[in-house]
C-alpha cells in the first residue's frame, strides 16, 4: 500500500507551535448538527493503535440516566441531523438500541462505528439485520485490505472475520442498496521510524480497496475514509516508547494546511462521553480536554437540556494533536477533509 513518504522539515528539537498561535485566532464553533456519542470503552478487541484504549477488560459504559438524557436531547433538538455512535464497540454497550431507535424515529441519520468482528460475539448475531432494518450507516474499520497488516494492528484472525462480516452485510444489501451505506476506514500503521508518511490519497486508495476486495472476496462498499492516526491513547504510547512522539508532532505541524480549518469536524459537533460530559471532539474526549462555554464552564448533557440550547460554545479547545487533523488533506471521523 503506497503512502506519501515525506520527512519532517522542522528541526526535531524545536518547540511545537501552539495550535492556536498557528491559526492566528481562536477556532470557533458553528451551529451544532452532529452528536457523536461514545457509549463506553468496552470492546471485544484491543487494537495497537486505539486512541480510546478500549479492550474487553474495560468496564466503562453509558448509564440508564445518561441514556435517557441523550434520548431527550435527540428528541428536543431538530438541528441534530446526525447521531454518530462509537465506543469501544457500540453494538455491545448499554443504550445502543434505545438511542438508535430514538434517533431513527426522529429521522436522524445514525452512524454506527463497527469493528465488524463484534457480529460474531455471543448474543450479537442479530446486529447486522438490526442495522439493516433501521437503515444505519455502518462505518467499519478495515485498516488495510491486506490480511497481515490488519492482523498486526487488530489481532490474529481479525481480517478473516472482518471479510466474513462484510460478505454478510453485502448479502443484506449493504454497499448496494442506497439506503444501506457501508463505508470502510483505513488507518495507517503506527510509524516505527522518523520516515513519516502522510495518509495516502483517499480516492486512489479507495480504488485499490474496491478492486482488491471485489476480485478476492466479491465484496462491495460505498466509500473509503482515510484517517490519520492522532498521537493519543495507544498510538501516543507506542510513539513515546520509540521516542517518536515529538518528531511525529513536528511532522504533522510541518504539513499544516490552513484551508482545512473551515472543514474540521469539531466545528459543528458535540462529543459526549459515557458519563454525559461534553467535548468538542472525540480526540479531546480521550485527552480529557472538556468543551468550555463562553464563561469558561464545562458542560454535561443535563446542562444542555436545562439551558434549552446546544449552542453554548464559542471557542473550540485545541491541543498539539490538532495538527493531525490539519496535515495534508486533513483528517476527521469522516475521512480526509479536502
Chain positions contacting ligand SF4, by CB under 6 A: 43, 45-47, 50, 52, 54, 87-89, 115, 141, 264-266, 280-281, 283-284, 316, 318, 321-322, 325
Q: Would you say 69 or 117 has its CB closer to ligand SF4?
A: 117
- CA-nearest of 209, 214, 156 to 187 is 209
- Least distance between ligand SF4 and beta carbon 270 (Å): 12
Q: Which residues pair with 185 in a beta bridge?
A: 141, 225
Q: Would you say 102 or 142 has its CB closer to ligand SF4?
A: 142
- Least distance between ligand SF4 and beta carbon 100 (Å): 18
Q: Would you say 276 or 334 has its CB closer to ligand SF4?
A: 334
- Least distance between ligand SF4 and beta carbon 141 (Å): 6
Q: Would you say 71 or 93 has its CB closer to ligand SF4?
A: 93
Who's near 85: CB < 8 A, 6+ residues apart? Answer: 36, 37, 39, 96, 99, 100, 110, 111, 112, 113
In whole angstroms, what separates CA 338 from the centre of its chain? 17
- Least distance between ligand SF4 and beta carbon 303 (Å): 20
| Three-state secondary structure readout of the chain | CCCEECCCCCCCCCCCCCHHHHHCCCCECCCCCEEEEECECECCCCCCCCCCCCECCCCCECCHHHHHHHHHHHHHCCCCCEEEEECCCHHHCCCHHHHHHHHHHCCCEEEEEECCHHHHCCCCCCHHHHHHHCCCEEEEECCCCCHHHHHHHHCCCHHHHHHHHHHHHHHCCCCCCCCCCEEEEECCCCCCCCCCEECCCHHHHHHHHHHHHHHHHCCCCCCEEECCCCCCHHHHHHHHHCCCHHHHHHHHHHCECHHHHHHCHHHHEEEECCCCEEECCHHHHHCCCCCECCCCCECEHHHHHHHCCCCCCCECCCCHHHHHHHECCCCECCECCC
Q: Would you say 71 or 92 has its CB closer to ligand SF4?
A: 92
Q: Would you say 56 or 173 has its CB closer to ligand SF4?
A: 56
Q: Would you say 43 or 301 has its CB closer to ligand SF4?
A: 43
- Least distance between ligand SF4 and beta carbon 217 (Å): 20
- Least distance between ligand SF4 and beta carbon 177 (Å): 25
- Least distance between ligand SF4 and beta carbon 75 (Å): 27
Q: Would you say 71 or 226 has its CB closer to ligand SF4?
A: 226
- Least distance between ligand SF4 and beta carbon 55 (Å): 6
Amino acid at each position: 500500500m503506497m503512502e506519501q513518504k515525506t520527512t519532517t522539515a522542522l528541526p526535531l528539537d524545536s518547540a511545537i507551535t501552539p495550535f492556536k498561535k498557528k491559526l492566528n485566532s481562536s477556532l470557533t464553533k458553528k451551529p451544532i448538527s452532529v452528536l457523536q456519542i461514545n457509549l463506553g470503552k468496552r470492546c471485544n478487541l484491543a487494537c495497537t493503535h486505539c486512541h480510546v484504549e478500549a479492550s474487553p477488560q474495560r468496564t466503562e459504559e453509558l448509564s440508564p440516566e445518561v441514556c435517557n438524557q441523550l434520548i431527550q436531547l435527540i428528541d428536543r433538538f431538530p438541528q441534530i441531523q446526525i447521531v454518530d455512535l462509537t465506543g469501544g464497540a457500540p453494538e455491545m454497550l448499554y443504550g445502543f438500541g434505545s438511542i438508535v431507535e430514538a434517533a431513527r424515529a426522529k429521522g436522524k441519520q445514525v452512524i454506527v462505528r463497527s469493528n465488524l468482528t463484534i457480529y460474531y460475539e455471543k448474543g450479537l448475531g442479530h446486529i447486522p439485520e438490526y442495522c439493516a432494518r433501521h437503515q444505519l450507516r455502518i462505518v467499519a474499520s478495515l485498516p488495510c485490505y491486506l490480511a497481515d497488516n490488519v492482523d498486526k494492528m487488530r489481532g490474529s484472525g481479525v481480517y478473516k472475520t472482518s471479510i466474513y462480516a462484510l460478505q454478510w452485510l453485502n448479502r443484506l444489501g449493504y454497499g448496494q442498496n442506497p439506503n444501506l451505506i457501508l463505508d470502510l476506514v483505513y488507518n495507517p500503521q503506527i510509524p516505527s521510524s522518523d520516515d513519516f508518511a502522510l495518509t495516502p490519497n483517499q480516492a486512489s486508495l479507495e480504488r485499490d480497496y474496491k478492486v482488491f476486495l471485489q476480485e478476492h472476496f466479491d465484496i462491495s462498499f460505498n466509500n473509503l475514509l482515510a484517517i490519520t492516526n492522532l498521537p493519543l491513547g495507544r498510538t501516543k504510547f507506542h510513539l513515546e516508547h520509540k521516542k517518536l512522539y515529538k518528531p511525529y508532532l513536528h511532522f504533522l505541524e510541518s504539513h499544516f494546511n490552513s484551508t482545512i480549518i473551515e472543514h474540521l469536524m469539531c466545528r459543528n459537533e458535540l462529543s459526549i462521553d459515557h458519563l454525559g460530559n461534553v467535548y468538542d471532539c472525540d480526540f479531546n474526549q480521550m485527552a480529557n480536554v472538556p468543551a468550555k462555554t463562553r464563561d469558561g464552564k464545562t458542560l454535561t448533557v443535563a446542562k444542555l437540556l436545562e439551558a434549552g440550547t446546544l449552542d453554548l460554545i464559542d471557542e473550540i479547545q485545541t491541543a498539539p494533536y490538532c495538527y493531525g487533523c490539519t496535515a495534508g488533506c486533513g483528517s476527521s471521523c469522516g475521512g480526509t477533509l479536502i
